[in-house]
Amino acid sequence: MLTGFIIILLLVTLFFNRYVPVRNLRAINGHEHEAIFVDLRDYQDSAKNPVNGAINIPCGYLKRYIKEIPNEQIVIIASNEVEKNFGARLLKKYGYDIKGYTITGPSQ
């Protein structure tokens, strides 16, 4: 019984962290010059459509290289909603101020 409860709790937590949108996070379509851009896309995706001046740290490496991000306002660049939600929650956990996000898919 307890094992079943722990498994269900783990699955709910995984679902929440990946698919439930982060509160008070707005989409940014233009260039915000007073913010730091953090590109959470994979290296292959960011190489195809680079963003000048952005810090490129894929989601999988975010915890490892979190110290390389300046403690300023951040705009997240992601290729999908899962990367955006995961990255935003992790950055907020470490005390970063996230100003917004932009989704840059392969067709955009």
**pLDDT tens, the chain, 108 aa long:** 899 999 999 999 988 888 888 888 888 876 666 889 999 999 999 999 898 999 999 999 999 999 999 999 999 999 999 999 999 999 999 999 999 999 986 644
Total number of domains in the chain: 1
Q: How far apart are the first and last CA of the chain?
A: 48
Judge whether 108 lies within some domain: no
**CATH (domain of 12):** 3.40.250.10
Stated pTM of the model: 0.82
**CA dist 54 to 47, 59, 79, Å?**
12, 14, 14
CB 98 within 8 A of CB 25: yes
Between strands 97-103 and 73-78, the pairing is: parallel
- In this structure, is residue 25 part of a structural domain? yes
